[in-house]
Structure 1
């Protein structure tokens, strides 16, 4: 098969492979590290997550700050009304029961890994580049970074990190397959705004990891969807001025 011209999301499949390998290494190390080492790793991950979230949230495009805030507010309201947290927890519990998984942080690990691995400019730009031009350079870099990160996250959260490859395939692979249709929609402004909203959610994850508060990140997830029409509408309004 000629991978350079393949219509399959090869970059995403490779990304899934690196996360799988990294997660398995992390799960192995989880049983080796003593409690004090696990604790300091947990704190380091929390600090790193906070920094990453701040860096991403600072990508709010000029003039889109209110859009950013309203996306989080409306997304949170939608999440509460729909009971996203309860739904995801129920789904996680079903998977855990079906696979006889005893870890309590399964759902948290899956959601945390998905946000970190799939919400960012590298995901959108890399997936679109592969779909349109067959270029996978950016996704190869991302795959390496995700593979390394998954070692640390799996050693902390457990097997839920490994299962993040499923939404990764659907989300990132889906963008590659639909790249031609999404190219005009995912403008640099749209990508920056999505990254910023995702960054805010990642800050929430960092706060939770460090026990600085209790942010309901799951119910804020719809903010990622809400910001799409809000940003599109603002772009259209600015274009008509």
Structure 2
């Protein structure tokens, strides 16, 4: 079953979010310090991922093209509207901004990364779900902590996680017919590097050092495939 690992991952996020609800009453200063710690860890993860690149020009062009597309279609604004709409359906308060923030932040943290791609590929290509199950355990603990600071809207991140990883897993059952393994491995490396920089941006946003419109950079996750293909041609 190609989707088994993705389902386990989603259940871990839900479980972590549910447990996190019971810790939302801790003093604000504890939450702030914990979030700072998480932010620093997120930045470190992003740095490690970004170093996976073998061609900085691929990463740069992917981010540039992704940013242009994201800004043109106002992607982050659309994501915020979606988060606010979801928030209006599940809460009676007016604090829809925090709902959108929790949804978007958690989605980016859980979706972007090597484990998502490699784990989903393993599930689809080899029926091996170990990577996604391991990722699920990690995501569950992260969801717990994020829920204590960003609210229960973190649980909504299971929607993009299931769609993203599930799609990759299902496509992976056929991907070896389209892309040679050597090219696929190189593409995963560049995708990991681009994702790492977006993860770093999330960490910086959480620390409130700068406010990067990460949502508008998300198309880079797609354009990296096109850029990498053109790069190989030359």
Using the size of structure 1 for normalisation, the TM-score is: 0.89
In structure 2, the CA distance between the partners of 1:87 and 1:95, relative to structure 1 (3 Å rule), is same
2:210 is matched with 213
Quick one: which of 133, 140, 148 aligns to 1:155? 148
Stretch of structure 1 that moved more, 115-124 or 212-221 = 115-124
Q: For residue 16 of structure 2, what is the aligned residue in structure 1? A: 22
| Equivalent residue, structure 2, for 1:99 | 90
1:60 corresponds in structure 2 to: 53
Alpha-carbon distance in 1 for matches of 2:211, 2:228:
28
What 5-or-longer segments of structure 1 have no aligned partner? 1-5
CA–CA distance in structure 2, aligned partners of residues 234 and 101 of structure 1: 50
Q: Structure 2: any 5+ residue segments left out of the alignment?
A: none
Query: Deviation string for 1:81-119 (max 9, x for gaps)?
Result: 111111111111111112226443222222222222222
CA distance in 1, matches of 2:147, 2:23: 9
> How far apart are residue 171 of structure 1 and its match?
0.6
Cα distance in 1, alignment partners of residues 171 and 51 from structure 2? 28
> What is the deviation of 1:162?
0.6
How many pairs were matched up? 228
Shift of 1:44: 0.8
Q: Report deviation, 1:200.
A: 0.8
1:20-71 deviation digits (Å, cap 9, x = unpaired): 000111122112x11111111111111111111111111112xx21111111
Mapped to 1, the partners of 2:92 and 2:100 lie a distance apart of 11
Tell me, yes or no, if the aligned pair for 1:113 and 1:153 is still in contact at 8 Å.
yes
Q: TM-score, normalised by structure 2?
A: 0.91
Q: Report 1:31-46 matches (<5 A).
A: 31=25, 33-46=26-39
1:192 corresponds to: 189
Q: How many angstroms apart in 2 are the aligned matches of 1:101 and 1:123?
A: 33
CA distance in 2, matches of 1:77, 1:133: 36
Q: CA RMSD in A?
A: 1.6
* Greater Cα shift, 179-188 or 67-76: 179-188
Instruction: State whether residues 70 and 216 of structure 2, in contact with CA within 8 Å, keep that contact through their aligned partners in structure 1.
Output: yes
- For 1:18 and 1:120, the matched residues in 2 are separated by 17
Report the equivalent of 1:69: 60
Q: Give every structure 1 segment of 4 or more consecutive aligned residues whose post-TM-superposition deviation is greater than 4 Å.
A: none
- Residues 115, 198 of structure 1: 8 Å contact kept: no
* Distance in structure 1 (CA, Å) of the matches to 2:98 and 2:218: 18
Q: Structure 1 stretch 18-27 or stretch 113-122: which is displaced more?
A: 113-122
